[in-house]
Amino acid sequence: MVSDKTFYVFCLPCCKIVVSTGALDHLRTDAEIATLLGREDAHVIIARHGAEIATKELWLDIHAPCRCYGRELLNPSKLLQLPKFFKRMERETNEIGLLLMAYAGYDKSVAPRVYEKLAGINRFTLWDY
């Protein structure tokens, strides 16, 4: 736990989950907290999104020199697909997170309220809850 009024919850690649006190100020019940913890577990442990992101970034890095030399081998429209890629990851994480919280015995009907809170607190562009 980090003492910070900013709202954030995230999972490090080493599978440690970081929760700010600002997040706990907005989450009132165990089920609300479980919604976010389930999502973070899903990102790293089950869906391995860190590895997916690293693969995408590696692909872009490999092709970047081609762009620099004017060959334009990297199609710029591919860059426009990244937001779609991140949205897919977030949807997948939400689904897996719901399963995890249900298996743990929490009420999964709480999740939509948590996502609405997130949308109100954070102004996400790529991370569409």
Whether 40 is catalytic: yes
Name 108's Cβ contacts closer than 8 Å, sequence gap at least 6: 98, 101, 102
**Residue of 40, 52, 90, 116 marked active site:** 40
Q: Which helix (H) or strand (E) holds 17?
A: strand 17-19
Residue with tokens 């907290």: 33
- Backbone φ and ψ for 121, nearest 5 degrees, come out as -85, -45
Tell me which residues are annotated as active site: 40
